[in-house]
Amino acid sequence: MNEAAQLTDQLLAAGCTKRDIARIINRDASLVSQFYTRNKGAAFVPALHHTLAAIHAGITDVDELTTLAAPHITRRTTAAGTRARVRTKAVLITPTGTGTGRAGAQAIASGSTRLRPLIAEAARQRLRLAFTIRMPKSGYTHASGSRLDSPGVRRDVVQRADHTEERSYGSATTGGFDATEFAQRIDAAGGDVTAAVQQWLLETGRIHPAAHITHLEIRTWRPR
């Protein structure tokens, strides 16, 4: 393992989670996993060292650790020695309020955090939202097309050959959901969009506790 991965292991042993470490270095949790799989993380080694030292000194508050780590995060450099550009994903919401974001299996596992900025911006603009989930049929508590779940078979339920099923919740026709409420749910889940959506589905009795979401799509629009 590279040094970033070794330090991450020590932080995990000290009681941090990968999501905590991602917050401390102000990056996505998926990047922390790439310390192990893609040999990334060299730019964060000094910050991880200082974080570990702070934890050994008795500091455990994540916000305080983030503040302590920030001055020690260095930007990557190119072969010519200049600072490398950081790739960012724009939050695309049109003037009409229309926006779409999707998360597949890998992003689902790390909390679908890439969808969080879309939902936060939708909340800021007071938009409505709807979402579509995909999971094994056995994860749902209601039959396909049930009026107690996502009503109607024609467009709100899509059955797949791999025994998974897509179901949509909310639409412009039914009014959808308040983006502000969902943003608050996501904040309460520590930024984990997957967990927030799953909790709503559990609270409303639509899925079994052991159900596993495999894909997630968020759609937004401006209410009339």
What are 176-203's pLDDT values in tens digits?
899 999 999 999 998 899 999 999 999 9
**Average pLDDT of the chain to the nearest whole number:** 86
Q: Which of 178, 207, 211, 28 is nearest to 115 (CA)?
A: 28
CA distances from 184 to 49, 118, 193 (A): 33, 13, 11
Task: Tell me which DSSP letter residue 61 carries.
Answer: -
Residue from 32, 58, 205 nearest 110 by CA: 32
Give the strand pairing for 99-103 and 128-136.
Answer: unpaired
Burial 106-119 (b: 16+ CB within 10 A, else e): ebbbbbbbbbbebb
Amino acid (one-letter) located at 31: L
Task: Say what percent of the chain tops pLDDT 90.
Answer: 47
Evaluate whether 218 touches 171 at the Cβ level (below 8 Å). no
Q: 70-84, 147-161, 198-212: which has the highest mean pLDDT?
A: 198-212
What pLDDT was estimated at residue 78?
61
Least confident of 16-25, 60-69, 74-83, 165-174: 74-83
* pTM for this model (two decimals): 0.58
CA dihedral (200, 202, 205, 210) positive or negative: positive
pLDDT for the residue numbered 83:
57
Q: Which of 40-54, 142-156, 193-207 has the lowest mean pLDDT?
A: 142-156
